[in-house]
Structure 1
Amino acid sequence: MRKLLIKNGQIYTMAGRDFVGDLLIEGSKIAALGETLEVPGDAEVIDASGCLVLPGMIDAHCHVGIGEEIYRWEGEDFNEMTDPVTPDMRAIDGINPEDEGFRDARLGGITAVFTGPGSGNVIGGTGVVMKTAGKIVDKMVVRDPAGLKIAFGENPKMVYGEQKKMPMTRMGTAALLRQALVDAQVYKGKLEDGKKDPDKLPERDLGLEVLVKVIQREIPLRAHAHRADDIMTAIRIAREFDVDLVIEHCTEGHKIAEELAELGYPAVVGPLLTNRSKVELKDKSFQTPSILAKAGVKVAIMTDHSVTPIEQLPLCAALAYKAGMDKEDALRSITINAAEILGVADRIGSLEAGKDADIVVWREHPFQLGARPLYVIIDGKMVCPEVRKAGNGL
């Protein structure tokens, strides 16, 4: 088994323990951490003196691989905009691991992402948590499905209003979502009846199977919602059906921060490093993550790649820090908080024995302008430094 020792680094575990010392990798896992570890005779050694050693960063909401860069329609697989309710769509079937965005992510120190459908539909389909290195998507996956995309506000209205079909209003969006969840409750009942009497077993429905996972709280709803009123509609429906919910974008979350904290829903905030491209972004602010975190909301920061290039995730967190977010909270928002919100903190997001060896070594703090990783390790394998094409630097 391959062994790698990172020695003499300033280790930020994101698990309540920071120290100068060593980290041992065996195979794809972190084997040990300590101020002084014995060097196994067969171990490769990286001297990290004067460097920072952090867990790989996690983009908690993006579309890398499913909305491929450099392509037009050929690589655009965000939304199946022929039906507003498509829970049976699976992001894993549309991800191209050769998308340039994955390489950009690695070069920026991002080792894992949540990627999934866009927000054109009321229910868009399931997304996945995956590593940013690999040739085959199935081998890169950490969790699938990792959540069911739903959308409120302008986008579903725009798509289907132009087609003169429901939803043309916010009321229509909420009604379609409620009906889908009711249908799932009925389908779940029929499945339970079918266990007792096979003759009562319903015909298989792939979309309702996914929605049953939601109402059984196996996966959360991941709600695209910018405006405060849309955020509260998402919460209203989640509470009606007693399902788990993650608020995505949360652009006006600062207006209702105390309510979100009281209700206990996490927020994946962003994209922050972009213009106000539509009315819903009128009150976009880099202060939003700080206000939410200080109120007690669990916050992750996202790029929504390719809206903001994925390699700029550390910069987004740095700008949130500049706008008043606690530095530790800003780091947590792209490491352990993201992992916890995504339901994968048992594997990634912090440096602890037994977790996946997803590690980044930095010469400067990643929030410092000009910082770039010296080494990026995913599943114990060195994936960076790597050579980029001339004229295409990070």
Structure 2
Amino acid sequence: MSVLAFTGGRVVTGAGEVHEPGTVIVQDGVIAAVGPSHEIEVPTGAEIVDATGRWVLPGFVDAHTHLGVHEDGEGSAGADGSELSDPDMSAVRAIDAVNIEDRAFRDALAGGVTTTVVKPGSGNPIGGTSVAIKTWGGRTVDDQVVKHPVSVKSALGENPKSTWGGRNQLPRTRMGIALVIRRALIGAQEYAGKRDAAAATGEPFTRDLGKEALAAALAGDLTWDQHVHRHDDIATALRLADEFGLRIVLNHGTEGHKLARELAERDIPVIFGPVLASRGKVESREASVSNLVALARAGVRVALCTDHPVVPIDALALQAAVALRAGLSWEQALAAISSAAAEIAGLDHRVGALVPGLDGDVVVWSGDPLHAASVAEAVFIEGREVFRREGEDVVIADRWADA
């Protein structure tokens, strides 16, 4: 049995509690106890991590990235985000393209990010399924999986329109994009009915991987991650959700503030951002972090994302700091990269807070992580130290040490 005890620091649980000084006990990779230091007994033989003068927080969660599938500095060799052989690529899985040796995984640790949801790109009306992984772990991406699959990725607007608009097939317009999605979902409805009937009678049935993924979304087992910027595309997303009963999460949501009341009433969350990117395309001309603040004030559940590599993943906490400056409360800004992000992604049973029973993903910060001068000094994933700063040097765990 391995036991870690983080003692003496300012413990911010991410679940609304702050203990100073506080203690966090991690036993066999899982959080066993959290509370004020005078109330928590450190087990005999525990390895002590002295966090005196430091802040102790849960590992951060980036709910929308392309980490490992769009590799920095690799050009076309690392561009595996969008499979463009057909507008409907519901059968593909982001997990099959993740290279865990992408340098950006180390950047994630430096930014205190311990969990991310990796999604297919937005070149297709339906891009495939996403996967939630830890940012460090074993020798394959499978060793780092938190949940797979998490969602079906879909895109409306200029990304799929510009990708397919010059080709001699659908879709060329926003109408065409919505048509591709509708046809695919109707096909999945029919497929699910035939599959279930065959299962009831014992008749043979031929599987279709794409329709299986879409059927899972129709059943509510997978969320429908909708890439969307403009307010009219958001309206189309809501229309599709109503037609097919999709459990929808808006990704980016640049003009979501214009429909904030509707989103709040329907409890449709928004993974917003990235907020440090330029207004690089026509759909983002109204991009502003103030739109995020408006969504939150209207009661919409929000998370922040880097959309790595659009914004480097180690800037996730910096984005929360920008949101704080724009008007989010400190608690809201922190939740947007921890507990709220985990909840929206369906990962709050594992990560996002320092709560007994969750994974022992703990980060020791030099100070307030939403202060630009603060740095992650040590990162633990499931109770294992995977990153540490030693002066100007950085030490990262060697996944190949026992090869």
Q: Place the TM-score, normalised by the shorter chain, in its bin.
A: over 0.9
Answer yes or no: is the 8 Å Cα contact 2:377–2:389 preserved in 1. Answer: no
Give how far 1:387 is off: 7.4
- The corresponding residue for 1:98 is 101
2: distance between equivalents of 1:141 and 1:257?
33
1:168 corresponds to which of 164, 169, 172: 172
Q: 1:270 to 1:56 in 2, by over 3 A?
A: same
Give the direction of change, closer, same or farther, for the CA distance of 1:386–1:16 in structure 2 (3 Å limit). Answer: closer
Deviation string, structure 1 residues 179-226 (Cα, Å, up to 9, x no partner) = 111111100110111023233x43211110111100110001100000
CA contact under 8 A between 1:290 and 1:326: conserved in structure 2? no
Q: Which runs of 5+ in 2 are unaligned?
A: 395-403
Deviation for aligned residue 1:259: 1.4
Indicate the residue corresponding to 1:334 in structure 2: 337
CA shift in 2, pair 1:390/1:75, >3 Å: farther
Q: Does 2:385 correspond to 1:382?
A: yes
**Pairing partner for 1:209 from 187, 193, 212:** 212
> What amino acid sits opposite 1:244 in the alignment?
R
Q: Which amino acid aligns with 2:218?
A: I
CA distance in 1, matches of 2:48, 2:392: 29
Residues 165-314 of structure 1: matches in 2 within 5 Å? 165-199=169-203, 201-314=204-317
Deviation of the 1:40 alpha carbon: 2.1
Question: What's the counterpart of residue 9 of structure 2?
Answer: 9
- 1: CA distance between counterparts of 2:47 and 2:314? 28
Deviation at 1:46, TM superposition (A): 1.4
What's the counterpart of residue 43 of structure 2?
A: 40
- Give the superposition deviation at 1:235: 1.1
Match of 1:371 in 2: 374
Contact 1:120 1:155 (8 Å CA) reproduced:
yes
Q: Which residue of 2 aligns with 1:113?
A: 116
Q: Partner of 1:54: helix, strand, or coil? A: strand
1:287/1:325 contact within 8 Å kept: no
Identity of aligned residues (%): 44
Taking the aligned partners of 2:52 and 2:341, their CA distance within structure 1 comes to 28
Q: Deviations over 1:4-41 (max 9, x none)?
A: 11002211112222212211111211111122322222
C-alpha separation between the residues in 2 aligned to 1:147 and 1:196? 27
What CA deviation, in whole Å up to 9, does each residue of 1:344-370 have, x standing for no partner? 101100111111001111121111122
Q: Which residue of 2 aligns with 1:80?
A: 83
Q: Give 2:351's match in structure 1, choosing from 335, 348, 362.
A: 348
Tell me how far 1:390 sits from its aligned partner.
8.5
CA distance in 1, matches of 2:76, 2:12: 42
Cα deviation, 1:137-179, whole Å, max 9, x if unaligned, reads 0010001000000000001111111113211000001111011
Q: CA deviation at 1:388?
A: 11
Relative to structure 1, the CA distance from residue 348 to residue 282 in structure 2 (aligned partners, 3 Å threshold; closer, same or farther) is: same
Alignment deviations for residues 206-250 of structure 1 (CA, whole Å, 9 cap, x no partner):
110111100110001100000011011111101111110000000
Q: Summarize deviations over 1:88-131 as a string: whole Å, max 9, x none.
A: 00011100000011000001100000011000000000011110
Whole-Å separation in 2 of the counterparts to 1:22 and 1:137:
32
**Displacement of 1:322 after TM fit?**
0.5
Aligned CA RMSD, in angstroms, stands at: 1.5
Q: Which residue of 2 aligns with 1:63?
A: 66
Aligned mates of 2:220, 2:34 — CA distance in 1: 35
Cα distance in 1 for partners of 2:256, 2:130 equals: 23
Q: 2:150 aligned with 1:149, yes or no? A: no
**Residue 24 of structure 1 aligns with which residue?**
25
Distance 1:125 1:309, change over 3 A: same
Residues 363, 376 of structure 2: 8 Å contact kept: yes
Aligned-pair distance for 1:252? 0.7
- Mapped partners of 2:87, 2:357: distance in 1: 42
Cα distance change of structure 1 residues 387 and 22 upon mapping to structure 2, 3 Å threshold: closer
1:280 counterpart letter in structure 2: E
TM-score (norm 2): 0.94
Aligned residues: 390
Task: Find the aligned partners of 2:390 and 2:86 in 1 and give their Cα distance.
Answer: 43
CA–CA separation in structure 2 for the residues paired with 1:239 and 1:113: 28
Q: What amino acid sits opposite 1:251 in the alignment?
A: T
